[in-house]
Amino acid sequence: MCGIFVAIDSEKSSQFLISEFMKIKHRGPDASDFKMIKEKTHFGFHRLAINGLTPKGNQPMYKNGVWLVANAEIFNYLELANTYNIKLETGSDCEILIDLYQEIGEEGMLEAIDGEFAFVLYDEAKDLFVAARDHLGVRGMYIGYDESEVYFASESKAIAFSKQLHQFPPGHYWNSYTDEMKPYFHHDYSTTALSEKDYCLEINKLLTESVEKRMMSERPLGCLLSGGLDSSLVAGILARKLKEKGKQLETFSIGLEGSPDIEAAQKVADHIGSKHHSIICTEQEFLAELEHTVYMLGSYDVTTVRASVGHQLVAKYVRDHSEVKVLFSGETADEFGSYLYFQNAPNAESFQEESVRLLKDIQFFDMKRGDRSISNAGLEARVPFADKAFVNFFMSIPPELRMFSDQKIEKYLIRKAFEDEDLIPADVLWRRKNGFSDSVSSKKKSWSEVIKEHVETLVSEDEFSNEKFRFTPEPSSKEAFYYLKTFEKSYGSHFQLTPYQWLPKWCGEVKDPSARVLEIYQAD
């Protein structure tokens, strides 16, 4: 994924800053560089080379008086270079950011680019810093303040020494003149009025285009495949396109013994003709990763931690057993209003409001899980459902057409859009949603139950009763307490990095995020 690190007007020693910078070395295994670009100001970069594989594409990048560190894939960089008659020299798609900034300014640049990005640039002539992050926060970035010092990093662990520390908000940009966050992407979705057929045609077109443009890579591609609808559609489109080029897609699934995901993923792999890897782990192998998972994430959210254990293990397997460097996945589709609890939405307006809230907050949960789990193995994540054009269109579909019930399956329009293509098996196309954090385990004993039993051996009743009051709000379970305590070891009091615990709405007094505890749970 690459790792960026920036220290502006820092009074701290280079030795200290480099030691913090190295905490995110896993993000860029191919090259690392740390430069003082002016007095007391440093740019650091860990590179995972995906495009422009020569050293010319290394960062920090310098061109025409502008410094740049960018964890980015700019899918339309060649088109933009042609439009603005820009001569590219490095082979890296990130280079276009410098030229666009100088041609049309930061606002024009952010309007023009189609990609996933987190970057900081420094304009020597203006003595100006500019930072920006993509619309949903596919790429991680944090901003920290320590008195007059300002810091940026791809992961919070690298700047946890800051007195103030926050996620850099997705869809925003910042400059050092104003020190203000300004939005360039807005979750304002004008409702469209099309026929069901036309909605389905456009969904098919936009998702297909989203997958295909993300194939931009000089390194091998692969796909995480849970056997659920979202990852299966992405894998199916990707496999079809690679087959046209005479190549075979590699797919990867993970689970405990008896996992329904393993079985469903194999069925999809057989259908699409991928080279498939089924990774079956023991409960002990999963449990051994719990503490590291909290550190890796920089989060103590219960459902995010649960889901990230398997996610990071499958990414490590990819790193160790294949040549794949770019991993596609199915995140974001659920935030459109497809979690099972949306079935209880009281009305269309509430349905839409909740979906918008989830998209705004995805940076704290599923998007963080995807970024950290995959980058932890030195790989790059690609998330087609997060494509800006797809998000804008799908969220413009009237919410009453996206709502579901016992009689109407969730994601009906997405399923219908691919019904006639034989892209994936029909029973998978119409398979009800499973939650990843539970469907990696058997129906008899869920992953959440395995964790709870394990935490009972780590946290005594006395410790939980006497120590839970240290945290605000109080953790509601020993599992939540254990994650908080583990987080505190590495991140101190920066509890604001997880603003709240993810829980379903409209389901009564539910205190556990597992879909299996809900009365409406019907998945296989």
Q: Which residues contact 14 (CB under 8 A, 6 or more apart)?
A: 34, 36, 42
- Give me the helix-helix angle, 290-297 and 366-375, nearest 10°: 110
pLDDT for res 431: 85
CA distance 284 to 314: 15
d(CA 391, CA 395): 6
Do 342 and 412 contact (CB within 8 A), yes or no? no
Instruction: Please name the amino acid found at residue 186.
Output: H
What was the pLDDT predicted at 432?
81
Residue 378 CA to residue 77 CA, distance in Å, equals 24
pTM value surpassing 0.85: yes
474: exposed, middle or buried (Cβ count in 10 Å: 0-12, 13-18, 19+): exposed
d(CA 335, CA 333): 5
Q: For position 438, what pLDDT does the model report?
A: 60
Q: Is 130:101 a contact under the CB 8 Å cutoff?
A: yes
**CA atoms 96, 99, 101, 105: torsion sign:** negative
pLDDT attached to residue 512: 83
Residue 445's SS3 state is coil
Q: Per-block average pLDDT, block size 10, for the chain (524 residues)?
A: 96 98 98 97 97 94 97 97 96 96 97 97 98 98 97 98 98 97 96 97 98 96 96 98 97 93 95 98 96 98 96 98 97 95 96 98 97 97 97 98 92 97 95 66 84 97 96 95 97 97 88 62 49
Q: What's the confidence (pLDDT) of residue 30?
A: 96
Q: What is the reported pLDDT for 361?
A: 98
Which positions ≥6 away from 87 have C-beta within 8 Å? 81
**pLDDT for position 514:** 67
Residues 6+ apart with CB under 8 A from 15: none
Q: How far apart are CA 37 and CA 62, in angstroms?
A: 10
Residue with tokens 């936009």: 206
Catalytic residue among 2, 200, 223, 281: 2
**Annotated catalytic residue 2:** yes
Based on its alpha-carbon atoms, the radius of gyration of the chain, rounded to whole angstroms, reads 22
